[in-house]
Amino acid sequence: MNEKIGNIINRFLNKEHLNNEIFKQVADSDYAFLSKESTRCFKEYIQDGNLEHAKQLWKSLLIDAISTLKINDSREKIYSDSKNNIKELKDNWENIRKTNTYGINELEIYFDDFISFETVLYGTDEHYRDHVEHVLQVWGIGIGLLENFNFSLNDTFEIDKSKDFHFQFTENFDKKISKSELWAMWSMIALCHDLGYPIEKTSQINKQAKKIIAHFGNMNFSELNYSFDIFNTFLVDKYLNIISSKASENNKTLIQTKFRDKFSKSLEDYKHGVFSGLLLFKNLTYFLETDFYQDDNKELSNEDLRQFFIRKEILRSIAGHTCPKIYHLSLDNLAFLLILCDELQEWNRPNFDDYRKSKIRVEPDVQIKEFSLGDNQVVKIEFDYKDADIIEDHLKYVVDNRFKQIHNLLRSAKDDSQRNVLFEWEIIIGNNTYKLSFDSTKNSFRQFSIKKFVTSEGETNSLPYEIY
């Protein structure tokens, strides 16, 4: 077995740390589900870190992920062949991975177009930032946490990291997810979670164009507009049903209507998470082959249900990370992991305002101060900005919006008495500290609090802080 990837708790999270403690260790490992191509891409990315190397690593990790998931599917011949001769699987891994990823080339073309389009998107929002290297950094943070902590899965499925592949389990394997499957699921979630950004930001292009054209007097303006045609609606509807469903204990897929409504609203609002998942669903054959029944009388086989769950969990995690209507009862699932890692990745992401003013971006020192899962779940994070003068202009963006998102995720809701969660986030700006605290063990009226701590002449005073 491989040693665990380096811990990231109480470390300053930045590109250098991830390169040394995550990416390098992954590249130097002998994981059976990591290709030589990905190892090479990791080493080139660590050494140069340019855009082309980032793209190559992104594609290679996705190819590994899709191939891994198919190898772990007991309905396919390669599963039994690998089970009988794992050495042959390892020896032929480089060839297998290239012939198992139908649709990856179309996704790569989209990714190239996305990168080109980012030059336009930088002008739509002063806070718009890079989404190419970002997804790799998010992936790295998540791997550091997945390797060192025991996460859980929904729908009574469980993670068993004792085996690399599912075919190595000898008992109780119907509900188990192996280590390679967990890595593959996370790779697809992290690397593809922002692909739908251009759709969300198109409305901003219309707003900016209207402002400029208005200066030329009365001119006809046709907005950049789009909608699904009748040929698209079937797949969109099926996609929404899949990500809104759960795998029941009687081997049926059941649509959870509340999730269906919330994801439909997210689609209506052009949230990029739900569009990112839709892009994967429509482009990768792996997702188009999802077994799913709306008929309450039809049951799936054990492996059909397991494969449905894996696909659903990937797509739902991606779609859910920009769906504020969805609340969380626990912090130990892949959906919350994506949200957390997405928020933590704050370095090397200059926005348009930084370029326009030719200034050096002030980035916070980011740390996970405490992290524990299980019966008592604790997450404590800290952002320490060093230059208050620059950051104060963006207080709403730096503090308020982030705290609002956490408030939405941990809001009062059905079954919230099941929570056993302590979540704290401190944002330090000069002499001021903004602290969000959610403690589920407290009385409902005192669980959630936000305070501002002001330090002056050696004394610190606590003040209430309003985000609404």
In this structure, of 130-134, 196-200, 329-333, 357-361, the range with the lowest mean pLDDT score is 357-361
The predicted-structure confidence for 158-189, as pLDDT tens digits, reads as follows 999 999 999 999 888 899 999 999 999 999 99
Q: Average pLDDT, stretch 426-453?
A: 94
CA distances to 178, 339, 429 from 437, rounded to whole Å, are 34, 17, 17
In this structure, of 23-27, 227-231, 235-239, the range with the lowest mean pLDDT score is 227-231
List, in sequence order, every beta strand (DSSP E) within 95-219. Answer: 158-160, 176-178
The predicted-structure confidence for 4-38, as pLDDT tens digits, reads as follows 677 899 999 999 999 999 999 999 998 989 999 99
Q: Pick from 454, 369, 355: which is nearest to 121 by CA?
A: 355
Which backbone phi and psi does 434 adopt, to 5 degrees? Answer: -105, 125
Instruction: Provide the pLDDT for residue 435.
Output: 97
Which backbone phi and psi does 200 adopt, to 5 degrees? Answer: -65, -35
Mean pLDDT, the chain, integer: 89
The predicted-structure confidence for 107-165, as pLDDT tens digits, reads as follows 999 999 988 887 776 655 555 456 788 999 999 999 999 999 999 999 999 999 999 99
Q: Pick from 15, 252, 50, 45: which is nearest to 138 by CA?
A: 15
In this structure, of 114-118, 130-134, 201-205, 386-390, the range with the lowest mean pLDDT score is 386-390
The predicted-structure confidence for 404-439, as pLDDT tens digits, reads as follows 999 999 999 999 999 999 999 999 988 889 999 999
Residue type at 137 in one-letter notation: Q
The 10 Å Cβ neighbour count of residue 235 is 14
